[in-house]
Structure 1
Amino acid sequence: MYIKKSLMVLSILIAQNVHSQVLLEANEAGNTYEDINAVLAPGYDVIEAPDCNHSQFGRHIQEVFDKELNKNVFKFSIHTSPDNDRCKKYDRQRNEIKTYASSPNYLKATKGETVEYKWKFKLPKDFKVSSSFTHIHQIKSVGGPYASIPMISLTLRKGTKDKLELRYTSTNKQATIKTMVLDQIKGHWVEVTELITFSNKGSYAIELKKVLTNETVFSYENLKMDMWQEEALFSRPKWGIYRSLNNSQDLKDEALLYASFSIQEIDLKLTAQKLLDCAIPKILMSKSTDTFLNIKSVKPKDNNAFVLFDNEANLIGEFKIDKNNIDTTGLAVGNYFMVFYKNSKVFKVIKYVIN
């Protein structure tokens, strides 16, 4: 038996306790900018596309049908020439969507809030990246002295083997905290789940899975992480392609696909009543005679772990299951809630009494 106080696991259990959830899905071709704006900032403009310097191409974000997902997705196009950064900077290119000051309040993360961001993306098999930077996702603050540098970036970088980098800062000195070889995900639809508690004593977790196989190819979690930049008004996400032209010979025209953007505020205040409402009838166990508890209703293929809470909804930890047997050594006499999960969703809640 082992204990791991995991915020990612905790969020899985309480995903149904949501203040608000915003979904951005692609529709049929046409009106793409209007569709995006209607969700992320009704009546305003969240598109940062290079149309101003490349109007003959048309809109740089389109809605197209994808056979693998069997639905419409967003296609972000970028061209080595003449695309630039909003006709303001010519040493880089930007084609991104965002939330910002004119977005509804429920799309702006404030200090103390926990937010889950989810989306899918697909890089072409022959995707080329810069040795300077190619960002495909950022978490940025608005306001304060550090607003110009993102707290979190997913950056693609050219090297002996091209990599995806997870980069972080709470001030102005960003550093890479984890990498993966980019070939692992080129040509594949990937689903990203990112969970952030926005606080100086916050937390950060991210997971990338191949959609077709559900294989986890990248993950990172830090439960004690400064996720608030001083004097910030709020934090927000950005998605798209933002790349340097310092080594334009390494680049080519690209089309990056995105789908199913989700922004969801999570309520971390799990109460005993919420657990009780979900629980099936209790299981009684004698501490004096039993060391292992067998859960016949939970199949190994469904679960390999469960999360335990005490009777007052305090998180005890995450416990392993071995062939449906749960080692209860070390647990005191009392009432508990066992919460089992499968594919990031609550599978079963059982009230468990040791007497």
Structure 2
Amino acid sequence: MTETYALISGILGGNPIEIPDCAHPEFGPHITQEWDDGLGKHSFVFHIHVEPDNDRCKTFDRQRNEIKTHSSSPDYVKGFLNETVIFRWRFKLDAGFQPSSNFTHIHQLKDAGGNISSPIITLTPRVGSPDRLEIGHKDSEGVSSVIATVPLEPFKGPWIEAYEKMTYGHHGSYSIELRNLKTGALLLAHEDSDIDLWRVGAEFIRPKWGIYRSLNSQEYLRDEQVRFDQFCLAKGDDDCP
């Protein structure tokens, strides 16, 4: 089996991994491949620890363990203005997964080079009554909104399959479906035919997957393992079947 970091870098190019290994070297790699009985195969496991993990030994009020496309990635896995891009992937939150009232992103769409540093789209578990899963959006004026929200409980434990389709632009389009992989049950569906999915000065839009969370309410948090599998990135006339 190919070493995990080398496997990811071989597909996404360059150094697409943002990990807390420097703060927690005794743990070893924070992205591993482990057998999953439900899938009958190995999957990626993203590990995060309330202590001592941080954001790459650069920022200490948050933690990051993510993969992404970036400037050195092939153009095919980056999204440019007016392009239509499709992502399909699987993820699994532990049955005891604990979010906080602050951000805990497990997926982001983020620009490179634009006028606002915050992500454009986020998939975010958040504590509440009940706990919920949110799709967040921030437009090119910096206005934030939650464009979809559902109870988190059905997402804790089973494998979830995500299918996401975007056309990038200030009047772009966005849709996402999240389904229970085993039963096929549709847990979240959202579609918007006119949404701001670009940034002034942006070079391209990149996806990010993993776990990126604030430590400002760490009393809610625990050590987590978030599993991912079967990433597909396509654009133009291609699809992710």
TM-score band, normalised by shorter chain = over 0.9
Give, in angstroms, the shift of residue 161 of structure 1: 1.2
Report what 2:25 is aligned to: 55
Alignment of 1:121-140 (within 5 A): 121-140=91-110
Q: Name the SS of the counterpart of 2:147 in structure 1.
A: strand
1:195-234 residue pairs with structure 2 within 5 A? Answer: 195-234=165-204
SS of the equivalent of 1:55 reads coil
Equivalent residue, structure 1, for 2:222: 252
TM-score normalized by structure 2?
0.96
1:208-256 per-position Cα deviation (integer Å, ceiling 9, x unaligned): 0000001111000011222111211100000000011111111111100
Query: What displacement does 1:139 show?
Result: 0.2
Runs of at least 4 residues off by over 2 Å: none
Distance between the aligned counterparts of 1:226 and 1:165, measured in 2? 18
Q: CA deviation at 1:58?
A: 0.1
Name the counterpart of 2:12: 40
CA distance in 2, matches of 1:121, 1:109: 22
Question: 1:180 corresponds to which residue?
Answer: 150
Displacement after TM superposition at 1:84 (Å): 0.2
Counterpart AA for 1:39? I
Distance (Å, rounded) in 1 between the aligned partners of 2:236 and 2:204 = 16
SS in 2 for 1:82: coil
**Partner Cα separation in structure 2 for residue 162 and residue 201 of structure 1:** 31
Q: Does 1:151 align with 2:120?
A: yes
Classify the secondary structure of the residue corresponding to 1:184.
helix
Q: CA deviation at 1:141?
A: 0.5
Q: In 2, distance between residues paired with 1:101 and 1:49?
A: 18
Q: Which has the larger radius of gyration?
A: 1
Answer yes or no: is 1:108 the counterpart of 2:74: no
Alignment of 1:160 with 2:160, yes or no, is: no
CA deviation string 1:28-85 (max 9, x = no partner): 3x610000000001xx211101000100000000001111111110000000000000
User: C-alpha distance in 2, partners of 1:266/1:212?
Assistant: 29
State the identity as a percent: 45
Distance in 2, matches of 1:200 and 1:45, equals 29
Q: Gapped runs of 5+ residues in structure 1?
A: 1-27, 269-343, 346-355
Aligned equivalents of 2:237, 2:47: Cα separation in 1: 36
Instruction: Name the SS of the counterpart of 2:26 in structure 1.
Output: helix
Counterpart position of 1:235: 205
- Paired letter, 1:199: G
Give the Cα–Cα distance (whole angstroms) in 1 for the partners of residues 184 and 114 of structure 2: 39
Written as runs of structure 1 = structure 2, the 5 A alignment for 1:20-35 is 28=1, 31-35=3-7
User: Hey, what's the Cα distance between the residues in 1 that align with 2:61 and 2:51?
Assistant: 11
CA apart distance, 1:138: 0.2
Matches within 5 A, 1:294-313: none
| 1:242-286: CA deviation from partner (whole Å, max 9, x where unpaired) | 011111111111100000011000239xxxxxxxxxxxxxxxxxx
CA distance in structure 2 between the partners assigned to 1:200 and 1:56 by the alignment: 45
Distance in 1, Cα, partners of 2:93 & 2:108: 17
**Which structure would you say has the larger RCO, counting Cα contacts within 8 Å and 6 or more residues apart?**
2
Report the count of equivalent residues.
239
Matches within 5 A, 1:275-354: none
